[in-house]
Amino acid sequence: MIDAHIHIFPPYRSVKAVRWLKRYIQGLRVEETVNETQILKLLQDSGISHFFNYVYPIKQEESRPLNEYNYHLSKRVKNAVCFGSLHPDNEDRKDILEEALIGYGLLGIKFHPFVQGFSVLDPRLDEIYVSLEKMERPLVIHTGFDRFYKATIRVEEVETILKRHPDLVMVIAHMFYPEVRRAFQLLKQYPNVYLDGTNLFSDYQEGIEGENIFEGVCDAVNGNPKYRISCLAFRDELEQYSDRILLGSDYPVAMNDPEKIYAYMNAIPLSNGAKSDLLWGTAQRFVEKYNPNFFQEC
C-alpha cells in the first residue's frame, strides 16, 4: 500500500500539530512526541511500502529549512516521496521553488492555505503556478473541513487556477469535504486534476451529542447514531475515476488511529482494479510521471 499523505515534520512543528489535533479528537493514540523512527516503523508494520511526505511553512522564514528537511528525509528514507512548499510572503519564492524542485529533487509543492494563512488566489502565487506548469510538477492543495479550520477555500477559487493554468497538475487534498460532489465535478471537467481522499476514508466517528466540527453525516453504527465521515456515497465515482484518486492517512495528524484507517481503506467495497488503483496503482503512476526510476531505486 502507498500512503499518499503523511506529515513527518521537524519535532518543533510535529509536537504542536499533534497537540492541536488531540484537543479536538480525544482518544487518538498518537503521542505528541511521536518521532520519525516511530512513524516509519508504524508505516512499515502497517504494510505501507511507500509514502508521500508533506511539509509547509507557517512563517516565510521556515520555507527553505523545511524544504531542506524534506530533502534530507528523501535521502535518508528511500521510500519517501517528499514535497516542498513555500509561503507567498517569501520575496524570493521563485528561487525557493527552483531550489526545492531542481536543487533538492522534491516532487512537487504542497500548500495548506488555512494553516499557512493565505488565499490560493493571492497574486503573488501566480508566478508559482506558471512555473509549476512550465516545469511540469504537481501542486497539492488542502481543501475542505472549513468548519474545523474556521476558513474557506471556495471551489470557484480553485477552478480559477485550473482555468488560468490548463497544464497545471493539481491534487485536491480532502476533496472540499463535505462538498465532495464538487470535487468530483472538477475531476470530471479537468483532466489534470487528481483527488486525494485523505480523511474521507478515516472512518472518523463522533457521538451525536458532539459539536460535529468535522461535518460528519449522521449514520447508524452498530445501532447507534453517530456523525461519521465516509466517501462510500461516491462509490460509482471512485470506481470510475480510481486512476486519479489517491488515499492517505494524514498520520501523525490523522483523524483516526492508523490501523483503523488502513483497515477501512483496505475494505473499500470496489472492484479489484479500482481498489488496487486507490491503494497503490494511482500513487505509483503519479510518482513515476515525475520520477520514472523512483520505484527501482528505493
Residue ranges binding Zn ion (CB under 5 A): 250
CA nearest to 75, candidates 38, 36, 104: 104
Between 143 and 242, CB nearer to Zn ion:
143
Between 62 and 250, CB nearer to Zn ion:
250
Smallest gap from residue 253 Cβ to Zn ion (A)? 6
Smallest gap from residue 112 Cβ to Zn ion (A)? 7
Which residue, judged by CB position, is nearest to Zn ion in the bound state? 250
Residue 89 CA neighbour count, 13 Å, CB half: 13
Between 109 and 274, CB nearer to Zn ion:
109
Q: Can you point out the beta strands (E) in the chain?
A: 2-6, 50-53, 80-82, 109-111, 139-142, 170-173, 193-196, 205-207, 217-221, 224-228, 245-246
Smallest gap from residue 4 Cβ to Zn ion (A)? 10
Q: Can you point out the beta strands (E) in 132-178?
A: 139-142, 170-173
Between 114 and 274, CB nearer to Zn ion:
114
C-alpha cell at 48: 505501507
Smallest gap from residue 248 Cβ to Zn ion (A)? 8
Smallest gap from residue 56 Cβ to Zn ion (A)? 9
CA nearest to 88, candidates 59, 55, 65, 130: 59
Between 3 and 250, CB nearer to Zn ion:
250
d(CA 63, CA 69): 10
